[in-house]
Amino acid sequence: MRRCLLSLALTVALPGSLAAQGFLFGPPSGSIALRAGRTFVRAGSDIFDFSTEQLTLDRRDFDAATFAVDLSLGRDPRVEGVLSVSYSAALAESEFRDYVDEDDLPIQQSTSLTQLALTVGGRVYLVPRGRSVGRLAWVPARAAPYVGLALGAVRYRFRQRGDFVDFRDLSVFTDTFDSAAWAPAVHALAGLDLRLAARAALVAEARLAQASAKMHDDFVEFDKIDLAGLQTTLGFRWRF
């Protein structure tokens, strides 16, 4: 009888005292996170060599704004499965370094690189994500660092449009060159959750991506495009 009365008292008292900082009846079963930041590409393949040597581009011109969504599932104190989708897009204007058109006009073009990545993996928290208070409540940790690994695929699109030089006769022509494909990708990740409220957290994450893909259509003479890079993001996580 005493145990029943104690449980009833806790059930009434906990919503007022712990609802703002923990969960009733156990840990969350998952979360959704929205992140935004920047991707810093390695740009180590010959298509980037050509673009930066012939055009007034720099490798940092291919760094891109990035947006990501994560769906995480798992009630284990330290382990969660994660499904992630991210998108990045870079666009830069340029002209030929060593060639000009008639009347000394610049030969101009634009170059874009977009990446859509889909990955499935897991993360391991270095400390428990939270702690149980008796059997009726779970309180999230103030700070919970984690590491993880994800596998998946990335679809890139590399496009150049504008005016170009035909190196055979040095004539100038207008065209669009395009290449797009899917490729396997591996992401190593590390991050930190900072508690804001019972269900909300600030999340900071860095992902190191490794991927490369064939260049098709108008870029068949080039080797694989290097899609590796470092993604850094900040966002919010909502636990459910």
**Domain residue spans of the chain:** 19-179+195-222+231-239
Residue 13, pLDDT score: 45
Question: Would the pTM of this model clear 0.95, i.e. be above it?
Answer: no
Cα distances from 210 to residues 6, 184, 239, in angstroms, run 55, 9, 29
pLDDT score recorded for residue 137: 83
pLDDT by residue for the chain (240 residues), tens digit each? 544 444 444 444 444 454 444 565 678 899 999 999 999 999 999 999 999 999 999 999 999 999 999 999 998 989 999 999 999 999 999 999 999 998 899 999 999 999 999 999 999 999 999 888 877 788 889 999 999 999 999 999 999 999 999 999 999 999 999 999 999 999 999 999 999 988 999 999 999 999 999 998 899 899 999 999 999 999 999 999
pLDDT of residue 22: 56
* Nearest alpha carbon to residue 144 among 18, 31, 34, 36: 31
b vs e for 30-50, b when ≥16 Cβ sit within 10 Å of the residue's Cβ?
bbebebebebbbbbebbbbee
| Cα gap 211→224, rounded to integer Å | 10
Q: Would you state the structure tokens that stand for residue 88, as one six-digit string?
A: 């990045």
Report d(CA 5, CA 12) in Å as an integer.
11
Q: How many residues does the chain have?
A: 240
DSSP strand pairing (23-24 vs 30-41): unpaired
**3-class DSSP state of 11:** helix
The pLDDT of residue 196 is 95
* CB burial string 187-209: b at 16+ within 10 A, e below: bebebbbebeebeebebbbebeb
